[in-house]
Amino acid sequence: MEVKELHMFSICAYRESPYLEACIRSVLGQNYPTKAILCTSTPSPFLEGMAKKYRLPYYVREGESNIRDDWNFAYAMADARLVTIAHQDDCYRAGYVRALVNSFYRFQDMTLFSTDAITVKNGHPLRTERLRLVKKLLRLGLRSPYMNHLSWVKKSALMFGNSICCPSCTYNKEHLGDVLFTSDFQFVLDWENLFTLAERPGRWICAEEPLVFHRIHREAATSACMGENRREFEEVKMFERIWPQPLTKLWMKGYRRAYGAYVGNIDEDKH
């Protein structure tokens, strides 16, 4: 039987992102051996050209584009034990895979690996972002090897919102199976998926070194969801799953204020 790769980046591409090439370069520039593939549900000469330029296997999913099916397709196409679904607008520091593999060899029951991330807005990293500091506090339990296999500890990182950066996540496919995302949500798809995975056996490890640059801009799915008010609707549903309704209303007051700070003053990114 052919042995699977240890790790693979599965780059989920949509249309013609001006940031895709930087993403590809970052995953191919890792200081630990890995592989990468390019997956899409919106095939184009641009994407095919990128795949050829960087000699990446290129996979096209038939059917209408949607986040859940596109992510599941990217996950399924990666023939590796550890799979990172890379978002086309984001970049990975060269030490990402090395940190991942070190954690994996130390804890064989690891089902999820993630890292801290720096938000890039208008071409500039937001290194003093208050929301980032809050998320680091929520993830404290995931840094303890004595606790980060417990369901309640994993859920503690998700109780006040999703403190785990989605593009920083690597999933252990051997433990989690071939289908990863089952949610009908679009914006909080990753949050609900993590909450479900938290109930399953396995250790979650978060490396607090910022090894991912997460870009927000006008064309990003996150901004579109908030423009259509889907984010608020879906987050209310998630909070109602976790908290009594009076507390949900309280948490959402803070979230409404955070929306403007997250996408406010986004100019065309020239970088």
Task: Check residue 80 and give its pLDDT.
Answer: 96
3-state SS string for the chain:
CCCCEEEEEEEEECCCCCCHHHHHHHHHCCCCCCEEEEEECCCCHHHHHHHHHCCCCEEECCCCCCHHHHHHHHHHHCCEEEEEEEECCCEECCCHHHHHHHHHHHCCCEEEEEEEEEEEECCEECCCCHHHHHHHHHCHHHHCCCCCCCHHHHHHCCECECCCCHHHCEEEHHHHCCCCCCCCCCCCHHHHHHHHHCCCCCEEEEEEEEEEEEEECCCCHHHHHHHCCHHHHHHHHHHHHHCCHHHHHHHHHHHHHHHHHHHCCCCCCCC
pLDDT tens profile 195-230: 999 999 999 999 999 999 998 865 554 444 444 577
Give pLDDT, residue 4: 80
Q: Is 262 a residue whose pLDDT tops 60?
A: no
Mean pLDDT of 234-250: 82
Answer yes or no: is pLDDT of 186 > 50. yes
User: Tens digit of pLDDT for each residue in 88-104?
Assistant: 999 999 999 999 999 99
Whether 129 has a pLDDT exceeding 70, the answer reads no
What tens digit of pLDDT does each residue of 8-23 get?
999 999 999 999 999 9
pTM: 0.90
Q: Is residue 247 over pLDDT 60?
A: yes
If one counts every other C-beta atom within 10 angstroms of the C-beta of residue 151, the result is: 13
pLDDT band at 270 (very low <50, low <70, confident <90, very high): very low
**pLDDT > 90 in the chain, percent:** 64
